[in-house]
A and B are shown apart, each in its own frame.
Chain A
Amino acid sequence: MNVWIAIGATAVGCYAVKLIGLLIPAGVLERPLVQRLAALVPVALLAALTAQQTFADGRLLVLDAKAAGLAAAGVALLLRAPFLVVVAVAVLVTAGVRAMTG
């Protein structure tokens, strides 16, 4: 049930912000401070989420095969690999390290 509540809340919220952008008159969101904040909030969220999903197991901090996978993904990004390749590299390296370390 909890999952459906979360899905419903997210669906309504995400649809609402999409629609608001199309409906409100230009100018309301055009202030420089609002624009800069809108660009920076995703940076903060994505950075925190990347770190947590790589180094956290529940509420514990861990260092496991995922860290190697993400490091490999980082290298792939530096080499300007396409999106799907970056994800595939992370998955393959994580699986490989896990298979080797058992």
Chain B
Amino acid sequence: MAEETVTADIAADGRSDGSGRSDAAVVRDALGVGVAVGLSGFAFGVTSAGGGLTVLQTCALSLLVFTGASQFALVGALAGGGNPFTAAAGAFFLGVRNAFYGLRLSQLLALPRAVRPFAAQWVIDETTAVALAQSTRRGVRIGFTVTGLSLYVLWNLTTLLGALGAEAIGDTDVWGLDAAGPAVFLALLAPMVRTALERVVACLAVVLGLGLLPVLPAGVPVLVAALSAPVALWADGRRRARTESVGGRDAVEEKR
């Protein structure tokens, strides 16, 4: 799910707005995100059931995993014939970013330790985006709770409807619904690819992901493609070290 575009919009709003927004304004923002993204659970339900999972399995994923990119990745990998552990590994690595969201949220929400296990399931792109855009602790808590609740309820409802719909229409490919999964990934990816380094990582990952597909077991090429991130970081670090050691003139050039 995860509208990074929504993220950007909200972040911009929050900054321009200053402090002390009314509770109603926070709830409005939170519901806007919750409803818009919650509805895309429909695309997940259709993709999952179209990929061969049962309605029960599809709903279990939305209820228990509740982080869209990981869910799409898992059903894609299973539909592609991957074994359960490589499929789960790809989904897991996509979910790791939520740990970093939790880190930021934990300071802002200041929840009692006993409440944290319950709040954890809602630590995702959208709730983080809305919460971080608020300027008071009260606003952060309202934003997080309203976004989390509305998104969780709607995402699961639309997942069920999508899965039932896909079962009803039979061959989802005829309706082009097999394009929904990759389109979701593309929409999530687009706002993340801004710098040259990010573009290099994306291109390298595409080459590895497609190039290794015919030669490695299903699900493994995606995991190998993930290595393009540390490799590119390492190469970038070396390049920087080299330009810095060449001397001041190049460093100045670099900065321009």
Contact = CB atoms under 8 A, between A and B. Distances in A.
A43 B213 CA distance: 19
Interface in A47-96: 47-56, 58-61, 65-66, 69-70, 73-74, 77, 80, 82-84, 86-87, 89-96
Contacts of A11: 60-61, 64-65
Given A83-B37, A92-B176, A37 B229 contact: yes
Contacts of A18: 67, 95, 98-99, 102, 120-121, 123-124
Contact of B176 (A43, A51, A52, A69): A69
A84 B88 CA distance: 26
The A interface, classified by DSSP as helix, strand, loop or mixed, is helix
Interface residues of B, number: 102
B80 A52 contact: yes
A6 B57 CA distance: 10
A40 B233 contact: yes
B176 A98 contact: yes
B205 A9 contact: no
A48 B209 contact: yes
Contacts, number: 304
A36 B101 CA distance: 14
Q: Which of B43, B96, B99, B176 has the most A CB atoms < 10 Å from its CB?
A: B176
Interface of B: 3, 5-6, 36-37, 39-40, 43, 53, 57, 60-61, 64-67, 69-74, 76-78, 80-81, 83-85, 87-88, 90-103, 105-107, 111, 113, 116-117, 119-121, 123-124, 173-190, 192-193, 197-198, 201-206, 208-210, 213-214, 218, 221-222, 225-230, 232-233
Given A18-B95, A53-B181, 7 more contacts: A3-B57, A6-B77, A14-B66, A43-B229, A47-B225, A50-B185, A70-B186
